[in-house]
Amino acid sequence: MTHRGMIVPIGGAEEKMRDPAILSRFVDLCGCQDARIVVIPTASSLKSTGRNYITILRRLGVKHIKVLPFETREDCLRADWLAVLEAADGVFLTGGNQLKLSTTLGGTPVTAMLRRRNAQEGLHVAGTSAGAAVLGEHMIAFGNEGSTPRADMVTLAPGFGLTNLAIIDQHFRQRDRLGRLLTALAYNPEPVGIGLDEDTAAFIDADDVMTVAGSGAITVVDPSTMTYSSMDSAKRHSPVCVLDIRVHVLVDGARFDLRGRTAEPPPLPPRATRRAQARKP
């Protein structure tokens, strides 16, 4: 019996020391202390990135951690590294440059294995920052800051294709990226836009229901109700007109069904907890 693993895009700058709630939840998904987790630091230009995540994951009790530092496309053919990936319970893609991920790993046995094992064998795949952007079928490769969509504001490239239901953007509120996500959706309003704040993650399950975790928010842009886009006639640098798009802002515990396009607020705390909160000055 086949089953899909979780897809976990993280907005970057996730808490790693004081209360690493997102990473702890990912570790629990993968099997807690007995989880076999592979870290792929390809997006990062820092040689220490892989070692740093080993330290973080060991603090969370993980015994079996491997770093696969794919630096060239030839690395992606190494049978020994592919065997490690084949045995993993979870894979974590670090931040950095998403184009470095796509140009190095795209179209290789590595990405083919990630897609197959996530879709059929329950492999959980998480990515932070650049590692989040690359998880979808379409990836934001470049883009400018600002809240207004403009005709040349974003460049799209193929991602790893673990899901075709969403375009993912990261560092969303911190870097004012609403405009570039709207621009990406104005080209073709098929997928949902997911804008991830820092230290915030979307845990997307096998039914494509997304649950929010973390200290920030996720901005969900649903273009399914769009009635008009001027993208086809907009001149370079010009603003783009889009009408009747739905926007949700979701916080920790809130959910969004990527297929049904429905949102749910976080569950209410127990009544006793609510009374205690109400009494606080």
User: What count of residues does the chain have?
Assistant: 281
Q: Give the rounded percent of residues in the chain with a pLDDT score beyond 90.
A: 94
Give residue 268's pLDDT.
87
Return the SS3 of 2.
coil
- Tens digits of pLDDT across the chain (281 residues): 479 999 999 999 999 999 999 999 999 999 999 999 999 999 999 999 999 999 999 999 999 999 999 999 999 999 999 999 999 999 999 999 999 999 999 999 999 999 999 999 999 999 999 999 999 999 999 999 999 999 999 999 999 999 999 999 999 999 999 999 999 999 999 999 999 999 999 999 999 999 999 999 999 999 999 999 999 999 999 999 999 999 999 999 999 999 999 999 999 887 656 565 666 66
Ordered by start, the domain boundaries in the chain are 7-279
Looking at residue 78, what DSSP letter applies?
Answer: -
Catalytic hit among 14, 102, 124, 129: 129
Give residue 227's pLDDT.
97
Taking domain 7-279, whether its CATH number is 3.30.300.30 is answered by no
Q: What residue has token string 């649950």?
A: 211
Rounded Cα gap, residues 19 and 200, in angstroms? 13
Give residue 2's pLDDT.
72
Give residue 269's pLDDT.
81
Looking at residue 76, what DSSP letter applies?
Answer: G
Catalytic hit among 44, 171, 229, 248: 171
Asked if 73 contacts 27 with a C-beta cutoff of 8 angstroms, the reply is no
Amino acid (one-letter) located at 58: R
**Residue 129 a catalytic site member:** yes
Give residue 274's pLDDT.
58
Rounded Cα gap, residues 251 and 19, in angstroms? 17
Q: What residue has token string 């804008």?
A: 195
Looking at residue 53, what DSSP letter applies?
Answer: H
Greatest alpha-carbon pair distance for the chain in Å reads 62
Catalytic hit among 124, 138, 198, 248: 198
**Residue 171 a catalytic site member:** yes
| Bridge partners for 204 per DSSP | 7, 210
Amino acid (one-letter) located at 189: P
Q: What sections of 139-177 are H helices per DSSP?
A: none
Give me the torsion for CA of 255, 132, 7, 63, rounded to 10°.
-120
Structure tokens at 133: 């952007």
**Residue 64 a catalytic site member:** no
